[in-house]
Structure 1
Amino acid sequence: MGAIGNFRSAEEKERFIQATFSTIATRYDRMNQVMTFNLDRRWRRKTVQLSGVPVGGEALDVCCGTGELSQALAKHVGGKGRVIGLDFNAQMLAMAREKQEKGRLARQIQFIQGNAMALPFEDNCFDTATIGFALRNVPDYRQALREMLRVVRPGGTIVSLETAKPEVPVLKELHGFYVNGVVPMIDKLSVGQQGPYAWLARSAQAFLPQKDLARVFTELGCQQVSYHNLLGGVVAVHVGVKA
């Protein structure tokens, strides 16, 4: 089973994540831009590029949140393609649907509520399944990846965009200072207490290094597994192909 961290059970972690994202849903996009220096959109575009999803293809965005990665997928597959954004948090989905109603997200995206641990789709439905900045937050990251692999067609891809471990010594030290010092300060100024964002930053530090996550992709049966460091390894995109 994937790491649960300090939680006593997968269920306890799931309840905590639900509450956390319900708390930050209305400010999630703005804080992403602040904490990534507005690089998050570029990272999502790179993720879509690496997914290999064809124009006119079908994509599933797992743990879609407010729909930003779903939007990047929709732009790529075009009007003849299909994108489904799935999330288990009602408040995050409400923000995604509100953005869609205002024309900030493509109308073709279908947002549905569901659990990454048991995706409500038949086998071999999609050309790619993506997950952005969420693999470390699911109760069992191996199970989430298994489900993503199950619903992707043979030759399709599963793709994770996730915070990572910088591999350059100086950048590694700067990253540690940012996560442990700057993020809690931003958290307190924006939310009024040290909580959601500081915890998300700590969970990023506790998650698997790039090579270890690539090994998990291989162990689950993916082929042609690769990872691509962005910003010196602060963020990484992992890609695996279904046999």
Structure 2
Amino acid sequence: MVVDLLAQGIEVPPLSSRQIATEADVVLAEYAKRLGPITKPPIEIEDVTTSVLPLTFGFSDLQSQLGGRVHGAIWFSRQHILIDDALNPDRFPDLLGRYHFTLAHEIAHWQLHRFLFLDEDGHAVLYGDGEMPDVICRKDHARPLIERQADEFAGCLLMPEWLLRPAWRSLTGGDEPICDRQLQELVPAVEPIRFLIDADGIEVEPDPIRLMREVFCESLADQFAVSDEAMRIQLETLGLFTV
């Protein structure tokens, strides 16, 4: 089973949004140092994984092996990430954005949380058999702090503010946020049936405001090679979508 931090008396320390964004920028600065300046999207997240960080990654049927809706997992001592086969972009090109976000999410655990699992020499500090991953990324509604931090880091890594704001300016003609009333004038009618099934095959009640925002930012999501949902969330985080 996954190591239970709280059961062993270890709490995930709180991090501010500024701290998380700074950690993501540290990784991107190292990328620029090693591989050249980042002047436009998308962030080459696979290169970040293997050329900037000491990590390897691959694909496996994690949902069968670990149970439930598992998207990714990381082994800190092995420095290895596995992504579920269902997100393999070679097999499912339409899920490229979700794959990128999941890989960035696992990188976040390495960058933000490995010190909870490894000592300075890279040895495990918590009880575990070494076979099971240290952290499993599941698609659940109730997400603990360690997962929420990893989601926020992934957004900052794939869509850093210093790269996203110029793209927003090019899209909208300015730096100002757009409110939902303005969006109603800019976004054509959304086909509700398109959104009745989520990425996990579960029927959901469409949220018209969320869908309207995601339709508006589709071109930005394509530029950054992320999902419409991830782009919407990052724009909301930066205050560029407002009620």
Query: What's the TM-score, normalizing by structure 2?
Result: 0.25
Which fold has the larger relative contact order, with Cα–Cα distance below 8 Å and residues 6 or more apart in sequence? 2
Q: Which has the larger radius of gyration?
A: 2
Query: What's the TM-score, normalizing by structure 1?
Result: 0.25
More strand by share: 1
